[in-house]
A and B are shown apart, each in its own frame.
Chain A
Amino acid sequence: MCSLHRNHRQWGFNSLRWRLGISYAGLVLIATALLTGMAVQTAATISVAAERERALSGVKGVAAAFSDALATAAADPAQIAREQGLAAGGRVLWLGPDGRVRVDGSGDAALGGKNIPLPTGLLEASGPRAGIYDTGSTWTAYAVTPLAIAGRSAGWLLLVRDLAALRQELSALQRRLWLMGAVLALIVTAAGLVFANSLARPLERLTQAARRMQAGDLRQSVPVEGGQEVASLAAAFNDMAARVAALDEQRRAFIADAAHELRTPLAALQTLAEGMRAEPGPKPAGLDGFVRQTERLGRLVGSLLTLAHLDNPELRLNLAPIRVRNLLEEAYWTVQPLAAARQIQLQAVASAVDAWVRGDPDWLHQALVNVLDNAVRHAPSGGWVRTAVQTREGMVNITVTDAGPGVPPEALARLGTRFYRPAAARERKTGGAGLGLAIVREVLHLNGGQVTFFCPPGQGLGVTLTLPAAPAEHKPQL
């Protein structure tokens, strides 16, 4: 079925714009994720190493101060631990040689004399040792050093520092980088859309021009703009379109000239043949065939002249409101003899609406006759041809279906093209020239309508003539 192509921008998710924009956004997000991860990991590694060194130097200083205080004065170990803890920004614990808590600078009385769950190996070192550990809810720096007071081994001094702030800073850094990446992704996506739009618009114009050419309007030209490649494509397209239009013009001129040149001798031949057949007496053998061939040739030349007439830019139409029912009745009357000869039943589907169209009555009559004639010719003997009228959104659809064999789906799009005959049983037998439906298309086009073809299930070919409905104020009062 022929479809109506709309000239609008492509914004679907499969469009170049979205694919390019999303691709840019994805690349930026991936780059952001990779760079953020590397940055945070690097920052964490550096910070953890720095905190480890800080804890190590801190515990050494605390141990020295603690040892000095307890060796030279009657100091309260708990108070010294508390003061040193405040100075070192952590919690100082004095562990005895057995690893148990002697003094907790934070004053947790329940820890006295108890083992605390320290990281493995922390107390096994002979010298100062520090490590940063994940305690589940936070990060903690543990630093321990052997403690000697007045030259006597007195166990260990433990400095515990909460590194929740470091963890929060790293999380904040990660959030900031991700936020920056997201903003950057949005910006790049927008830029990508703009860039993709600049690429897509010339291509869309080319596509639209090509579709118009496909629809028969060969005089197409698109702006030569955009990038070098796109501009070259546009220029090539314009050259091609100009060339095709010129060739089409030459073809039309040739056909028109040929039809005109053939019409006079053909008329003479027809007159001569009719005269010979009208004379009494024996007739030359093959005269009837000669007459039929000249009649057929005459119809062909007539069609060619009709098309040439339709192609004439100076053609003027007599537009008027037309009652569709009358249009159909006149067309029925025209094709009725042929239908009767072929035992084809013409059926009109009853319609509740009294449809009116605006157009040239003569040309529309010919177009409708062409469609009905084509249907009657291709319907099997004893079959039917059915017409129906519908109105929708200010347009009137006149649909003609037949009981013929129909056409292959791939041939639907080319129906209405001049001299096109589908290689199907439908056309072989009738021997048409492939101009009837082409005339229909041209007539509909000139009257502001269009023709579409379809193959209804279980039926032959369907043809829908779509014409603008006549405005109500233009309808004659009946």
Chain B
Amino acid sequence: MKLPKRPFIRPALISFGLAAVLGAVAWLNRVPQLPHAAPLQPAPAVQSEPQIPAPVAETTPGSPAVNTAAFKDQGVLAFVWQGLLYTLDGHTGEVKAITESGQALYPAWSHDGQWLAFVRVTDPQAQAGPLWIARRDGSQAHQVQGLPGPLGRRNFAWSPAADVLAVSTEKGLWLVPAEGGPRRAADQGGTAWSPDGKSLAYSVVLPFDPNDPESRSDALYTMAVDGGQPVKRIEAPQAGIILAGWWPDGKGLLYWVDPLHSNSIAADGLDLFSLRLGDTKPKALTISLVSPQWLSFSPQGRLLLVKGGGRIVWAGKSLAVIDVPAGSVQDLKNPAGSVSLDPSFSPDGRRIAFVAAKDLGHNVWGFKNPQELAAWVATRTLWIEDADGTKAHPVTSAGGGVYQPLWSKDGSRLLYVRDNALWMVEAEGGAPARVVDLLPAQKDLFGFYGFVTFSDQVAWFRN
């Protein structure tokens, strides 16, 4: 076709055609268009606010039977039912499932009750697994990754002042904030928080001859959480150190000494020592089983514990109140024919709740059949007495087979375990109320020569 001979028509048509061709080239050769998304690796941007509302409580037919009225205004209860971890909010009456699968154990509340730590069992034999953290409402549940090895009952503890966990592993001491990754703080050791949450105490195995492991010695260290240098407080020659905790005023430490690092010796009870920070000589207080559950501190700084050696709990066990700074021990008298177990100071420190069980004597090392065991368990009754041991009396309405009584915040009630369920009873007596079932099947109540703890299934935040 012959183009018109107007001077501008031909250049215009050529320019238009050229532009069309170049446009088509550019359009076809553009980078393939995909919707944009923020990169996930290597350092994902973290958003602080949740984008999705927290899950609501699930009370499906498979949920535990809960008596919310019995727990009204009693804080928040974390408990394990059929392996799953639940929370019961005494203020709202809501029951929330924190986990959907697996076996949860060792729930533990943070100091402010906003976070819940627990273990999801991956090693059923050792009852250990990775550590998990979740918010009180179940949101932000996540596995703490980056920690070595599975964790057990005594491997982690919340700071009393911050939302930080101290985690002791075979490969060192770690600090795990509720939000964020773990940070390695020390080479090794079991750990205990100071009351103000600013320091940690931990034990360290000193270098030893591998050919003579029994000769190894432990040392006790303290360390400021904010990065201060570790301070060696004491060394136990050819013995292990098992931390019991800090003095309530934070001025000293309590610990057991385990000669030759012997598990057998430790099972029969160890000397409990008290060491004032700065001193070089500790003071032996008494012999007790290595059971932190049997230690209870009063606001006044007194320590209530179960005194007595021997691994069997139905013989030679009584209560004692220790003035920790002074190192004086006050023995409390057992109810007649009984041993005293599972002690608990009331919040005001004036009263003591404990379990009295029939004293079977040192010659009994076991039971011939479950019925005999059940008969002994049935003798476990709830008792209350004043802090000086006077006015001891049973709370008969609570029934038999009582374990682990715990005072409510106002000291008017007691939460305890019986018949594999949690019960609440008025301290002054009255009919107990079944709060929640723990397991459909009965727990092995022989435990370790009678020692049974339900703290691996229950955590009570009383505020």
Contact = CB atoms under 8 A, between A and B. Distances in A.
B143 interface: yes
A109 interface: yes
Given A33-B28, A77-B120, A133-B37, A116 B46 contact: yes
Interface of A is mostly: mixed
Contacts of B39: 135-138, 140
B227 interface: no
A434 interface: no
Interface of B is mostly: loop
Interface in A95-117: 96-104, 106-117
Nearest to B35: A133
B334 interface: no
A428 interface: no
B280 interface: no
Interface string A164-185: 0000001000100000000000
Nearest to A96: B141
A74 B37 CA distance: 35
A100 B44 contact: no
B128 to A, nearest CB: 10
A115 B53 CA distance: 12
Interface of B: 21, 24-25, 27-30, 32-41, 44-47, 49-55, 58, 60, 97, 100-103, 120-124, 129-130, 133-135, 138-146, 178-182
Contacts of A75: 102, 122
A44 B32 contact: yes
Contacts of B180: 109-110, 112
B145 A100 contact: no
Contacts, number: 187
A103 B103 contact: no
A92 B52 CA distance: 20
Shortest Cβ-Cβ A-B pairs, 8 listed: A37-B28, A109-B181, A133-B37, A112-B142, A109-B146, A113-B140, A44-B32, A117-B38
Nearest to B115: A113
Nearest to A123: B52
A153 B60 CA distance: 11
B34 A74 contact: no
A346 B32 CA distance: 84
B32 A45 contact: yes
Most A CB atoms within 10 A — which of B58, B122, B124, B145?
Answer: B145
Contacts of B60: 152
A71 interface: yes
A194 interface: no
B52 A74 contact: no
A110 B37 contact: no
Most B CB atoms within 10 A — which of A33, A77, A104, A160?
Answer: A77
B35 A131 contact: yes
Interface in A8-62: 30, 33-34, 36-38, 40-41, 44-45, 48
Given A48-B34, A112-B144, A150-B100, A74 B50 contact: no
Nearest to A170: B32
Contacts of A140: 37, 39-40
A78 B47 contact: no
B2 to A, nearest CB: 20
Most A CB atoms within 10 A — which of B24, B40, B50, B180?
Answer: B40
Given A97-B55, A153-B100, 14 more contacts: A37-B27, A40-B28, A74-B103, A100-B50, A100-B140, A100-B142, A101-B142, A112-B143, A113-B141, A114-B46, A115-B47, A115-B50, A115-B51, A134-B36
